[in-house]
Structure 1
Amino acid sequence: MPPATPTPAPHLIGRLRQVRLLALDVDGVLTDGRLYFQADGIEIKAFHTHDGHGIKLLQRAGIVTALITGRDSPMVSQRAAALGIRHVHQGVADKLDVLSELCQRLDIGLEHVAYCGDDMPDIAAIRHAGVGISVPGAPSYIRRHADWVTATPGGHGAVREICDTLLQAQGHWDAVLDIYLHGTR
């Protein structure tokens, strides 16, 4: 049976098999990019539950996850804690620098990283990661630097599309499905 998730170009599958770290921008990738503020100034963000479950599945498969965002938001910290994401970097101006430092700490080469972003601060990380990913809502001048542009928009399951595709490429998909189809662990 064919996979239910769209896959990137066939030449990327080999690179996806090598991914050990998925690093994500937040606004525009895990959210739809809109910022909501209450009258008291408190920021509100909406995250898609499918993305969160995909991140948990990746972590169970041994793939490290990280968030690297230019904004600083308590909502990001809360969401990361709920998902068990230990590597959270907020208020970042140079995302490639932070990604490179994280890779060094984790002993993971940039060629083993999938990075997804949607705006100018993400270009360098997209270009230097083993698999650079963007979302359809990103400007064309960002998308053209990506190896893969998801079919699903940011904030609407794009991260789940990435997670499912990584799990499929790395041979974890049948085991993941089996857990939910048959209750096997």
Structure 2
Amino acid sequence: MKCAEEYMRLYAVTDRAWVGGQTLYQQVESALKGGVTCVQLREKELDEEAFLKEAFELHDLCKKYNVPFFINDNVDIAIRCHAEGIHVGQEDMAAAQVRQRVGDEMMIGVSVHSVEEALEAVRHGADCLGVGAAFSTHTKADVDVLPEGMMKAICDAVDIPVVAIGGIHKENLLRLKGTGVNGVALVSAIFGAEDIEAECRELKALAEQL
């Protein structure tokens, strides 16, 4: 399944840390109503059974809105819930191995931080790239911010869609203009918002300007 650039425009990555008055399901639905173009389910703490149940529920929800659904890291869950995509980091299974397991139908996203990593991911069959951290971020404490110009260098080097991630919010999103990214992947800027739907509408309008 080819990854379209528009899937990357406003890419929501879930984080249970922000679940409060709404359930994760309700938060994701609010984000979908607000116009997110892709949803990635990231679960680090749930056991396999609970993760799978949630994956099926959220995948069904995304289908209603015609938005692709990615699973973070867990290839087994991605296969079992028939997700449109799987996203892996540098420390996870290599894209070539993931491709052997998921076949040609599923999109593979890979996190990269340099031109070398980006080119290797493409060689191994990645369909899209997550590049960051774009700015300093509280979501992941151990992540380095990309050197000046690196985002553009990566986008220039590859011919697959690229989404920027890391510390992006309304105030700094347009600083990515001119880098060549196809969109932004957001965690707290979406799920930490008081009114997720309204926030996504604003973020989407900004992302369209990239």
Task: Give the TM-score, by structure 2 length.
Answer: 0.34
TM-score by length of structure 1 reads 0.37
Q: Which one has more relative contact order, counting CA pairs under 8 Å at least 6 apart?
A: 1
